[in-house]
């Protein structure tokens, strides 16, 4: 697939009727299929006016403070282009109107990719910034990103990788963790407890078969009162239990500071 250079190129694009997913693949991104059409029109106009080969400098700046992320993908996007790209490193903070990226080169080398590069930076930086805020609140406590289920699977690895750049300790998405050279981290869903019909039996099975480096953190809000279920699991696993996970739905009051404090106090009382 050749890079889009004109409106005729756009008209010639045919999409398979049996396409499985609506997300763009790597080739479609690299050839410009995810750009806004007005950048192709811009290139046509500049070419007509004899300006498409003019050297320009483009700068990217944010409106709000945040944490930089997405730089590596932009560098990969442009690795075969005859342009110069400067950017602040991933994980660094920026302030409004800071120049976070500067691109220098002939316009037709990179102009149609403005949509793409901005999307790469904006989305990843937003996730990294949110993760940094969580990191600051969590302080030294472990912080793991379980957000993959809330985004399209095509971008789940991008999101969870950005969360780690922003300060998360680990991610549950397998590909996201592997992209950063680490193993994914997570507990279990409600589904296994519902299928088994009992939290304690699942907790015991988890403790029996999971590898030693898998923390014994058990979900305790599926069937019974969270405090009661926590105490039952603690009694069953004893010192092997490293923590509990609360995911109480809002219909049942949600996860509140009061609930957390009550569980902590009851565990302390039980020794």
Characterize the bridge pairing of strands 217-219 and 243-245.
Answer: parallel
Most confident of 92-96, 144-148, 187-191, 256-260: 92-96
Q: Where does the pLDDT of residue 225 fall: very low under 50, low under 70, confident under 90, or very high at 90 and above?
A: confident
1 has a pLDDT exceeding 80: no
pLDDT by residue (tens digit) across 73-99? 999 999 999 999 999 999 999 999 999
Q: What would the two tokens of residue 222 be?
A: 């599926």
Going by C-alpha positions, the residue among 137, 145, 127 that lies closest to residue 186 is 145
pLDDT the model gives residue 18: 92
Domain 7-127 has CATH 1.10.10.10: no
pLDDT by residue (tens digit) across 21-40? 999 999 999 999 999 999 99
Mean pLDDT for 9-23 is 93
pLDDT the model gives residue 217: 94
Number of residues written out for the chain: 271
253 has a pLDDT exceeding 90: no
Q: Rounded to two decimals, what is the model's pTM?
A: 0.88
**Could you write out the three-class secondary structure of 116-154?**
HHHHHHHHHHHHHHHHHHHHHHHCCCCCEECHHHHCCCC
3 has a pLDDT exceeding 80: yes
Share of the chain above pLDDT 70, in %: 100
pLDDT by residue (tens digit) across 117-140? 999 999 999 999 999 999 999 999
Give the lowest-confidence range in 37-41, 51-55, 221-225.
221-225
pLDDT the model gives residue 270: 81
Going by C-alpha positions, the residue among 124, 126, 66, 121 that lies closest to residue 98 is 66
- The domain spans of the chain are 7-127, 142-186, 190-270
The dihedral of CA 60, 71, 134, 247: what is its sign?
positive
Q: What would the two tokens of residue 111 be?
A: 């102009």
Class in CATH terms, 190-270? alpha beta
């Amino acid at each position: 697939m050749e890079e889009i250079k004109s409106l005729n190129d756009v008209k010639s694009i045919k999409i398979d009727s049996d396409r499985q997913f609506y997300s763009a693949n790597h080739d479609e991104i690299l050839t410009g299929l995810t750009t806004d059409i007005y950048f192709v029109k811009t290139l046509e106009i500049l070419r007509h006016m004899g300006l498409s080969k003019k050297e320009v400098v483009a700068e990217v700046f944010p409106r709000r403070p945040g944490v930089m992320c997405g730089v590596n993908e932009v560098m990969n996007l442009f690795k075969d282009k005859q342009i110069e790209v400067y950017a602040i490193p991933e994980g660094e903070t920026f302030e409004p109107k800071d120049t976070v990226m500067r691109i220098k080169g002939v316009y037709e080398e990179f102009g149609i990719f403005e949509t793409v590069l901005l999307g790469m930076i904006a989305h990843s930086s937003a996730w990294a910034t949110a993760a940094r805020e969580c990191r600051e609140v969590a302080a030294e406590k472990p912080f793991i990103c379980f957000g993959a289920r809330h985004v399209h699977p095509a971008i789940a690895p991008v999101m969870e990788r950005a969360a780690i750049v922003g300060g998360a300790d680990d991610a549950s998405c397998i590909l996201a963790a592997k992209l950063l050279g680490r193993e994914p981290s997570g507990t279990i869903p409600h589904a296994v407890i519902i299928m088994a019909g009992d939290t304690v039996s699942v907790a015991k099975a988890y403790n029996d078969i999971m590898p030693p480096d898998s923390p014994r953190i058990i979900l305790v809000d599926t069937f019974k009162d969270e405090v009661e279920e926590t105490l039952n699991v603690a009694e069953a696993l004893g010192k092997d239990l490293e923590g509990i996970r609360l995911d109480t739905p809002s219909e049942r009051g949600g996860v509140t500071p009061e609930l957390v404090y009550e569980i902590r106090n009851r565990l302390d009382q039980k020794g």
